[in-house]
Structure 1
Amino acid sequence: MGWFSKSSIPSTHVEHSKQEDTAAAPTPPAAATTSPTAAAAAAAAAATEEPVAVVEAPLVSPIVVAPLPVMEFDEYKQPEDMYARFQVSDAMNELAACSSLGANIRNYYRYGTFKDCAARYDHLKFCLSIKTKSSQVAQVMIQKRDADLRAQKKSQPNSEDVWTVRSHPPEELVELARQG
């Protein structure tokens, strides 16, 4: 009998219908016949004694999207994403691509000098150095290196250095306006 007793199972009396009644056409569920078109399809199915599935599309509510907050470049990255930039194999591939014959010939043709791969070599050395450190120390080293690279990039000349703020128009333009 098992681990449960007969008294613990609720008993319900179920009447079984005759064999002839089970061959009648199946009626669609009540949820499917809520619209007039579904009722007409169900009536047509009952008349032809062929089961027809009537499916109604559920109503879709509009999606409201809140604006995302503005974040700094490194804020959205997860810690494992930060390590993805410092793979030793990727750093070796970049160094090999920089110092390859084709890249140096192209650089010599365009600029008259061979390519300087010192930055890629430093990146490879840094990738090798963080592999021996714990994750907390490596994360601090990465943040310090990123801050140093950002400061170095800001100190270099950029497109904003071309423009100078003037308080009055240049003398050449003033003379041209007087003559013309």
Structure 2
Amino acid sequence: MSKIDFKTAVHQEEAYLRLVHPTPDDIPGCISLFDTYLSCNVIRNQVKSLYRYGERPACAPKLEDFKFCMSIKSLHPEEQRDAWILRRAEWWATRRLARSSEDIWDIRKEPLVSFPKPITEEQMSGRPIK
């Protein structure tokens, strides 16, 4: 289980997203989000998801992203960016704190000692290793 709380995770994600999307022009537009939603419903993506995961893709969150974009359309561009970043930060924080296959792994603070093993001169020369 994660050792951080939701609020801390949201702040971390927000800081990261502000670096990745420094200006209002860097956030996706409503047309782009609508295209993403439509492409989710294309038969090719439906079949691919059925094959890979055994179920249809979840397109509803993509539609919700588009609706959210339309709801903030009347805000100043900087306010739109802030609202979009907060929404994405909350989404990423929720995803980070939810259970996943990564729950069994601990993140290392330092690399392992002597790993990988250094390559020897004998290995470099191409001679067989005993």
TM-score after normalising by structure 1: 0.44
For residues 112 and 135 of structure 1, what CA distance do their matches in structure 2 show?
40
Deviation at 1:76, TM superposition (A): 5.5
Cα 1:109–1:147, aligned 2, differ >3 Å: closer, same or farther? closer
Root mean square deviation, CA, Å:
2.4
1:159 Cα offset (Å): 4.2
Change over 3 Å in CA distance of 1:163–1:96 after alignment to 2: same
Please tell me whether the aligned partners of residues 30 and 69 of structure 2 are also in contact (alpha carbons under 8 angstroms): yes
Residue 24 of structure 2 is aligned with which of 73, 80, 83? 80
Residue 153 of structure 1: CA displacement?
A: 1.6
Change in Cα spacing, 1:145 to 1:73, as seen in structure 2 (3 Å) is: closer
Tell me which of 65, 70, 92 is aligned to 2:34: 92
Within 2, Cα distance between the matches of 1:147 and 1:73? 7
Rounded to whole Å, the distance in 2 between the matches of 1:72 and 1:105 is: 34
Identity among equivalent pairs (%): 23
Cα deviation code 1:10-49 (max 9, x no counterpart)? xxxxxxxxxxxxxxxxxxxxxxxxxxxxxxxxxxxxxxxx
Which amino acid in the other structure matches residue 109 of structure 1? Y
Runs of 4+ in structure 1 displaced over 4 angstroms? Answer: none
Letter in 1 for 2:18: D
Q: For residues 79-116 of structure 1, what are the alpha-carbon distances to aligned partners after superposition, in whole Å with 9 as ceiling and x for unaligned?
A: 23433x2x111111111110111211221122221111
Give the aligned partner of residue 85 of structure 2: 143
Structure 1 residue ranges without an equivalent (≥5): 1-70, 165-180
CA distance in structure 2 between the aligned counterparts of 1:88 and 1:73, rounded to whole angstroms: 18
1:110-136 CA-to-partner distances (Å, cap 9, x unmatched) read: 222111112211111111112122234
Aligned residues: 92
Name the residue aligned to 1:107.
Answer: 49
By how many angstroms is 1:75 displaced? 2.2
Aligned CA distance change for structure 1 residues 73 and 135 (closer, same or farther; 3 Å):
closer
Residues 24, 80 of structure 2: 8 Å contact kept: no
Separation in structure 2 between the aligned mates of residue 109 and residue 143 of structure 1, nearest angstrom: 33
- In the other structure, the counterpart of 1:157 is 99
SS in 1 for 2:34: helix
